[in-house]
Amino acid sequence: MKRRDFLKAGAIAAAASAFISPKADLHAAEESGVSVKRYTEIGKTGLKMSDISCGCGSLPSASLVLRAIDKGINYFDTAPDYGKSETYIGEAMKNIKRDKIILASKFCNPMPYPSHLPLGSTKDQYIASIDGSLSRLKTDYLDFVFVHAMGEVDKDKEKELKRLLDENMLEAYQALKKAGKVRHLAVSSHGPTNMEDLLMAAVDSGHYEMIMPAFNFMKFPKIPDVLKEAKKKGVGVVAMKTLAGAKDMQLDFKGADFAQSAFKWTLKHPEVNGLVVSMKSVADLDNYLPASGQEYSAADERVLRQYASAHGSSYCRTGCGICEGACSNGVDIAASLRFQMYFKDYGMEKRAMTSYARLNNKAEVCLTCKNTECTGACPYGLPVAQMLRETHQTLTFNV
């Protein structure tokens, strides 16, 4: 992407937003009457979360936190590398009774995403990361702290298993818990490698009280086994990446709403206590919350089939990673395409570009590569090589 085009697009968006009246937006939200209808206990923690909850990766302001709470959302998922997310929540905390909300953050550094603490981090580094989060969040404790993104930091399963059960991390967690700074340990994974095996190991370990997998109607045939084992052992489940890429949702669904249908599909699984989805505006609240507490129907099934038919050949399934072994150049295919999804479909342009820039094995080599093994290896028929070339051109400034 040319730098001038990127800046021009940002200027246009900013100008458009200037014509939106915040007061009118809030008034519309008040008139809509949508709110959370169901709360479910997270495993055996005793904490009950709103079934549709706030992912704060693109949180724009403290006021949206307050508006979400007004609508009944009580669970907020944040991280030090989610921009100003923790700071915005901290600003909102002045108007919030702490015991009325559930806060989850990550063992992570306040740097551009992804900045998860790697294997080899010291006990003091783990503790310092939480102290930093608590300072920004203006609170004394976290309800959940995550060992985040299993299967992304390293493709070597044995190394990720070591990170999952790292003694320094576990000792830091116990020290933080004893000090009253954290209450529960959790783990997340959106792949691209070994998601099911790593989450199952977390469930079996006895250390983790909640898991957060990527889970939607487009893939993940093995995840239900992990969810069943989690429920059996009293481990909570919060789902993410539930919108299957959040691609063009303006298809004619004949009066139905794709996001609501996708949420209801995820929440119909009794093992799932709730889901988190990025909330960027009051409009998101009004669009997403009507699915709260609702049953999955035949009409929802038709909507999801229509979406899958339209986007099944362009959606890179989060957590798959099957094609990566076919790339002789070692390109981080799944991560590259996920950041492209953040840019094109999630509207997270800055985060996508900064995260892509930090990859060790970007798709630049794909611009001249003549091999098509990666495309042939995709079980869903995606034109992987072409998608990677487009990804590098989109996420890289070409001055």
* 165: amino acid identity, one letter: L
Helix axis angle for 349-357 and 3-18, nearest 10°, is 150
3-state DSSP assignment of residue 335: helix
Give 290's contacts (C-beta < 8 A, 6+ positions apart): 34, 257, 260
pLDDT beyond 80 at 394? yes
Give kind and range of the element (H or E) at residue 113: none
Higher pLDDT, residue 32 or 381? 381
Residues 333, 44 contacting (CB under 8 angstroms)? no
Higher pLDDT, residue 101 or 348? 101
Tokens for 247, please give them.
């691609």
* CA-closest candidate to residue 38, choices 264, 314, 234, 259: 264
pLDDT band at 376 (very low <50, low <70, confident <90, very high): confident
* CA-closest candidate to residue 250, choices 317, 294, 307, 308: 307
Q: Average per-residue pLDDT in the chain?
A: 86
3-state DSSP assignment of residue 15: helix
Tokens for 31, please give them.
């008139």
Residues 176, 127 contacting (CB under 8 angstroms)? yes
pLDDT beyond 60 at 13? no
Instruction: For residues 308 and 258, give the distance between their C-alpha atoms in angstroms, rounded to a whole number.
Output: 11
CATH T-level topology, domain 33-306: TIM Barrel (3.20.20)
Q: Given the DSSP bridges, would you call strands 274-278 and 39-41 parallel, antiparallel or unpaired? A: unpaired
* CA-closest candidate to residue 266, choices 38, 107, 3, 34: 38
Higher pLDDT, residue 254 or 21? 254
* CA-closest candidate to residue 104, choices 118, 120, 85: 85
**pTM of the predicted model as reported, rounded to 2 decimal places:** 0.81
Report the share of the chain in percent with pLDDT over 70: 89
Higher pLDDT, residue 82 or 191? 82
Instruction: For residues 143 and 101, give the distance between their C-alpha atoms in angstroms, rounded to a whole number.
Output: 9
Strand pairing partners for 144?
Answer: 104, 184
pLDDT beyond 80 at 274? yes
Instruction: For residues 117 and 125, give the distance between their C-alpha atoms in angstroms, rounded to a whole number.
Output: 8
Amino acid 341: pLDDT: 76
Amino acid 20: pLDDT: 32
pLDDT band at 197 (very low <50, low <70, confident <90, very high): very high
Instruction: For residues 54 and 277, give the distance between their C-alpha atoms in angstroms, rounded to a whole number.
Output: 6
Amino acid 398: pLDDT: 66
Amino acid 115: pLDDT: 81
Q: So where are the chain's domains?
A: 33-306, 322-395
Compute the 3-state secondary structure of the chain and give helix, strand, coil in percent, each to the nearest 5.
45, 10, 40
What torsion do the CA atoms of 41, 201, 342, 362 make, to the nearest 10 degrees?
A: 170
